[in-house]
């Protein structure tokens, strides 16, 4: 594969170290004199702490410190702020509020001693009744979880709504057809391959705190630590080394990180804390847990007119979601999807339950996944009730290209799109009409009493995402605006260093950001070093999640490269002794308009910029620039997905036979990386649709705390993906790109579920909730009226 001088498929530069096993992850870092921390966790979902006896643990010969909530309380660190203006216990003082909550922290000479010493801590608990069902959390007799908050007598967190309620109610009151469906998006976990961890190293002499942490948002972490600890930012350095997947799980600040910091201050030595798999699944940020009631109003002949939604959102014991301040339900109000509606309204109520905190954007831009799933399920439910083909129903209602930029009924402005083209392409690749013909023939045989065999189903989803948070006028996290900085320096030899604030967790940023500079300046991407993941080395920005990197930092990169190009123009003018206005650009060189032979390459210009060449008055030497990019709008990638499944009605087993995905993320910087991102997201979708679930028993015991119980999809469950693409550039992004990292996770669950329910149509099953495990499918078939 050749290296393109800009956009195009090229191999990932970072893979040179990854495929040799030479990546550096947090757990690969060993500092001189380093100690190890371990967390004692609550066995109860809800219990009062009567006493904690740490004497035996402290007496362990290898233990250097035992930290409890009471000790942290003395330092005013027992509670920390969450990214949603709530508070979260670092170590429990009064009560434990979910199973797996942090109760004590042991620091020891090695990992094993730290773990052993946990066994020596004696905690007396007084168990309390737990509430794990979000719909029960608001009952008047539900146990109050957050009695640490003054005057709190219930489990209510927030009420939030969007859209025009009166207009929506009016459409519903006069609609020919109204369909209502309860839809659960169950609790799932981002489950990155690498679990969360940190090494804290506080230098008492310099007063500098260095934290190695696999965070997706190093600069935001630094500011939060500065606010909490009262240290200036320049005395805190966050280093995010290589990261083995984040998917939203590594955005927030976890108690283990804070304990490692306190452990380092107390012992005067670096302290590493690395959680294990069960700790990751039980106590770090989960996703979804949305109980949704959707209503759709339509004409009898299938024109969708309005959508109305109410949601109970389960946020666990502490509201630890990471989403823009003004939007407590994230971007859920993009639930109107890809359709041309007269009106829409949603109301969301957030509640506390005795479960781990979180509600993070697992491979999705702040609840966009829940929204896309709901509307795509609702459209299929409408198709079921009207007896129409779900593809035809969508085609009829999709927004048309001439409607863009499209102001949605809940306040978004979709930047660009050609939806019918994407759906038509997906149907073409899938051979949609042939699939339906095959299905009709199969159903006929089945109705005629032919027994055995599987039933095929064809599922469609069409999604619109809202990614690239975001415009400062609209959004911030903890008061921090969501603009990103970028710095570009071209050395005298024409090689360049780009410094960006976003932090890759496997998305290939070291390659694609080099490609953006290469496209703008004509320097080979191999000659452009991308520096990221170290707050001492990079400009401020809010990090990588919600597919925001390309829309925000990708734009910053293009802008800063253009600034350098303009500087190069002035230098070239001085070199050629012409006015810069008389120069024209072609990739890699400025030349005199009308005389293409008279030109200077970017390499020649770089050297001259550092030489004794006399530059015009007021022009500084060197070839570098900085920028801060504040996006004018989000970008709105979209896609059309078609899934074909075969369901065994005897066992409920689902086999995904085919999956066609047509994505439009505007201009593609590296199509190979884009396809890789889509492959990963499609596998995510199969996982959520068919097997992933963090379940709890009525006492709040977590039933999904290992990969034996929390199932992830493997290549065995995934077909060979069939991808297509359309390209509708974003009109406001400097290079026309939209985000893509999460599109497939957002769009695919509905396609899989719609396919399974399409297969079950002969049984009269209209809806069943994810995950559609064999047991769930079988139960749905048993409970439904037979329809032939
Ligand atoms: O924020 P995150 O990096 O997770 O998501 P993204 O901005 O959607 O980018 C994921 C990867 O795909 C990055 O390496 C991007 O540069 C690349 N990409 C691309 O090549 N072309 C696009 N239009 C969008 C993303």
Average pLDDT score over residue span 246-270: 96
Ligand 1 centroid distance, CA of 550 (Å): 5
In the block, residue with structure tokens 């339900």 = 329
Query: Ligand 1 atom 10: the closest Cα is on which residue?
Result: 741
Q: Is the pLDDT of residue 543 over 60?
A: yes
Condensed to tens digits (0 to 9), the pLDDT of residues 61-83 reads: 999 999 999 999 999 999 999 98
Percent of the chain whose pLDDT exceeds 90:
93
244 has pLDDT over 80: yes
CA–CA separation, 352 vs 367, rounded Å? 18
The residue with tokens 């700790």 is: 279
Return the residue whose CA atom lies nearest to atom 19 of ligand 1.
Answer: 669
The confidence score (pLDDT) of residue 744 equals 98
- Whether 449 has a pLDDT exceeding 90, the answer reads no
Sequential DSSP letters for 484-496: EEEEEEE-TTS-E
DSSP H or E segment with residue 414:
strand 413-414
Q: What percent of the chain has pLDDT over 70?
A: 99
Provide the pLDDT for residue 3.
86
Question: Mean per-residue pLDDT for 109-115?
Answer: 98
Q: Which residues, at least 6 apart from 777, have a Cβ–Cβ distance to it below 8 Å? A: 647, 652, 653, 654, 756, 760, 768
With b meaning 16 or more CB within 10 Å and e meaning fewer, what string describes 311-327?
bbbbbbbbbbbbbbeeb
- The mean per-residue pLDDT over the stretch 587-613 comes to 97
Rounded distance from Cα 554 to ligand 1 centre (Å):
8
Q: Is the pLDDT at 644 greater than 70, yes or no?
A: yes
pLDDT level of residue 412 (50, 70, 90 thresholds): very high
Cα distances from 567 to residues 52, 456, 613, in angstroms, run: 64, 61, 14
Average pLDDT of the segment spanning 233-240: 97
Arithmetic mean of pLDDT, 705-718: 95
Rounded mean pLDDT, 551-569: 98
- Which ligand 1 atom lies nearest to the CA of residue 667? 23
Substitution candidate for ligand 1 out of 498, 507, 730 with most atoms within 8 A of CB: 507
Which residue's alpha carbon is at the smallest distance from atom 22 of ligand 1?
668
Range 29-49 average pLDDT: 98
Q: Looking at residue 785, what is its pLDDT?
A: 56
Tell me, what's the pLDDT at 360?
85
Q: Two tokens at 580?
A: 């810069």
Q: 674: CA distance to ligand 1 center in Å?
A: 7
Q: Which residues contact 402 (CB under 8 A, 6 or more apart)?
A: none
pLDDT confidence tier of residue 2, bands split at 50, 70 and 90? confident
Measured CA to CA in angstroms, residue 8 lies from 12, 425, 506, 671 at distances of: 12, 22, 19, 6
Per residue in 200-215, pLDDT (tens digit) is 999 999 999 999 999 9
H-only helix segments in 124-254 = 165-173, 218-229
Q: If pLDDT is split at 50, 70 and 90, which confidence band does 788 have? A: very low
- How far is the C-alpha of 377 from the C-alpha of 105, rounded, in Å? 45
Q: Of the candidates 646, 642, 638, 659, which has an alpha carbon nearest to the alpha carbon of residue 389?
A: 642
Question: What mean pLDDT is reported for the chain?
Answer: 96
CA of 678 to the centre of ligand 1 (A): 10
Instruction: Give the residues surrounding ligand 1 with Cβ less than 6 Å away.
Output: 507-509, 512, 544, 547-550, 554, 665-670, 673-674, 677, 737-741
Predicted local distance difference test score (pLDDT) of residue 322:
82
Atom 11 of ligand 1 has which residue's CA nearest to it?
Answer: 507
pLDDT at 787 over 80: no
Q: Which two tokens stand for residue 702?
A: 């977590």
Tens-digit pLDDT profile for residues 129-186: 999 999 999 999 999 999 999 999 999 999 999 999 999 999 999 999 999 999 999 9
Average pLDDT over residues 92-107: 98
Specify the pLDDT at position 199. 98
Mean pLDDT, range 620-636, rounded to an integer: 97
What confidence category does residue 784 fall into, taking pLDDT thresholds of 50, 70 and 90?
Answer: low
**DSSP symbols for 605-625:** HHHHHTSS----TT--SSEEE
Q: Which atom of ligand 1 is nearest to the CA of 545?
A: 1
Which tokens go with 312?
């109970």
Could you give the C-alpha distances from 252 to 181, 189, 444, 491, 729, in angstroms and in order?
Answer: 33, 14, 53, 37, 32
Distance 673 CA to ligand 1 centre (A): 8
- Report all structural domains of the chain as residue ranges with CATH numbers, in order of start: 31-128+194-244+250-283 (3.90.1170.50), 286-469+633-783 (3.30.365.10), 483-629 (3.30.365.10)
* Cα(244) to centroid(ligand 1), Å: 17
Q: For 80-98, what is the mean pLDDT?
A: 95
């Amino acid at each position: 594969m050749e290296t393109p001088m800009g956009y195009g498929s090229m191999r990932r530069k970072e893979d040179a170290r990854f495929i040799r096993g030479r990546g550096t992850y947090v757990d690969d870092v060993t500092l001189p004199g380093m100690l190890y921390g371990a967390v004692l966790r609550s066995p109860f979902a809800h219990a009062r702490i009567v006493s904690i006896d740490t004497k035996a643990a402290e007496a362990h010969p290898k233990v250097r410190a035992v930290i409890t909530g009471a000790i942290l309380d003395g330092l005013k660190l027992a509670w920390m702020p969450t990214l949603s203006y709530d508070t979260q216990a670092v170590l429990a003082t009064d009560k434990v509020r979910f199973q797996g909550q942090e109760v004590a922290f042991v620091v020891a000479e090695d990992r094993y001693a730290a773990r052993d010493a946990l066994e020596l801590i004696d905690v007396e608990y007084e168990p309390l009744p737990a509430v794990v069902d979000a719909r029960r959390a608001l009952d008047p007799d539900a146990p109050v979880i957050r009695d640490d908050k003054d005057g709190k007598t219930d489990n209510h967190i927030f009420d939030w709504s969007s859209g025009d309620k009166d207009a929506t109610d009016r459409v519903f009151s006069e609609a020919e057809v109204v369909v209502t469906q309860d839809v659960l998006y169950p609790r799932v976990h981002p489950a990155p391959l690498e679990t969360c961890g940190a090494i804290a190293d506080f230098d008492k002499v310099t007063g500098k705190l260095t934290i190695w942490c696999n965070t997706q948002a190093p600069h935001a972490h630094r500011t939060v630590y500065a606010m909490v600890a009262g240290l200036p930012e320049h005395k805190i350095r966050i280093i995010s080394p290589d990261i083995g997947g984040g998917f939203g799980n590594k955005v927030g600040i976890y108690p283990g990180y804070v304990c490692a910091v306190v452990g380092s201050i107390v012992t005067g030595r670096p302290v590493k804390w690395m959680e294990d798999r069960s700790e990751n699944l039980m106590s770090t940020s989960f996703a979804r847990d949305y109980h949704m009631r959707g209503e759709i109003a339509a004409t009898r002949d299938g024109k969708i007119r309005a959508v109305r939604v109410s949601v109970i959102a389960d946020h666990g014991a502490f509201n630890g979601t990471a989403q823009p301040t003004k939007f407590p339900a994230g971007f859920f109000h993009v639930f109107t999807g890809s359709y041309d509606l007269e009106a829409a309204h949603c109301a969301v109520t957030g509640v506390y339950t005795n479960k781990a905190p979180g509600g993070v954007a697992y491979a999705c831009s702040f609840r966009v996944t829940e929204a896309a799933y709901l509307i795509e399920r609702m459209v299929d439910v409408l198709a079921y009730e009207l007896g129409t083909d779900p593809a035809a129903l969508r085609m009829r209602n999709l927004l048309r290209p001439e409607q863009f930029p499209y102001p949605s009924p809940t306040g978004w402005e979709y930047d660009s799109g050609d939806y019918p083209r994407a759906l038509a392409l997906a149907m073409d690749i899938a051979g949609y009409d042939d699939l339906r013909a095959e299905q009709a023939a199969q159903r006929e045989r089945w109705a005629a009493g032919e027994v055995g065999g599987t039933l095929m189903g064809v599922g469609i989803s069409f999604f619109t995402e809202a990614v690239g948070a975001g415009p400062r006028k609209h959004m911030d996290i903890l008061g921090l605006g969501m603009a990103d900085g970028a710095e570009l320096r071209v050395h005298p030899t024409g090689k360049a260093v780009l410094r960006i604030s976003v932090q890759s967790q496997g998305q290939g940023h070291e390659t694609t950001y080099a490609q953006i500079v290469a496209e703008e300046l004509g320097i080979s991407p191999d000659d452009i070093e991308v520096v990221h993941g170290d707050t001492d080395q990079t400009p401020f920005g809010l990090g990588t999640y919600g597919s925001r990197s390309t829309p925000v930092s990708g734009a910053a990169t293009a802008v800063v490269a253009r600034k350098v190009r303009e500087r190069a123009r002035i230098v070239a003018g001085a070199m050629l002794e012409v006015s810069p206005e008389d120069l024209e650009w072609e990739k890699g060189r400025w030349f005199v308009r009308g005389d293409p032979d008279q030109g200077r390459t970017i390499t020649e210009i770089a050297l001259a910029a550092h030489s004794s060449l006399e530059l015009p008055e007021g022009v500084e030497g060197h070839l570098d620039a900085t920028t801060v990019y504040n996006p004018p709008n989000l970008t709105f990638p979209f896609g059309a997905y078609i899934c074909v499944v075969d369901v065994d009605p005897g066992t409920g087993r689902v086999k995904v036979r085919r999956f066609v995905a047509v994505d439009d993320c505007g201009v593609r910087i590296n199509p190979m990386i884009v396809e890789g991102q889509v492959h990963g997201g499609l596998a995510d979708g199969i996982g959520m649709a068919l097997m992933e679930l963090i379940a709890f028993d009525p006492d709040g015991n977590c039933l999904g705390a290992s990969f034996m119980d929390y199932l992830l999809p493997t290549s065995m469950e995934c077909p060979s993906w069939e991808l297509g693409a359309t390209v509708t550039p974003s009109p406001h992004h400097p290079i026309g790109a939209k985000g893509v990292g999460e599109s497939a996770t957002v769009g695919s669950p509905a396609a899989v579920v719609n396919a399974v329910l399409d297969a079950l149509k002969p049984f009269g099953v209209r809806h069943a909730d994810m995950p559609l495990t064999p047991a769930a499918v079988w139960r749905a078939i048993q409970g439904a009226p037979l329809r032939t």
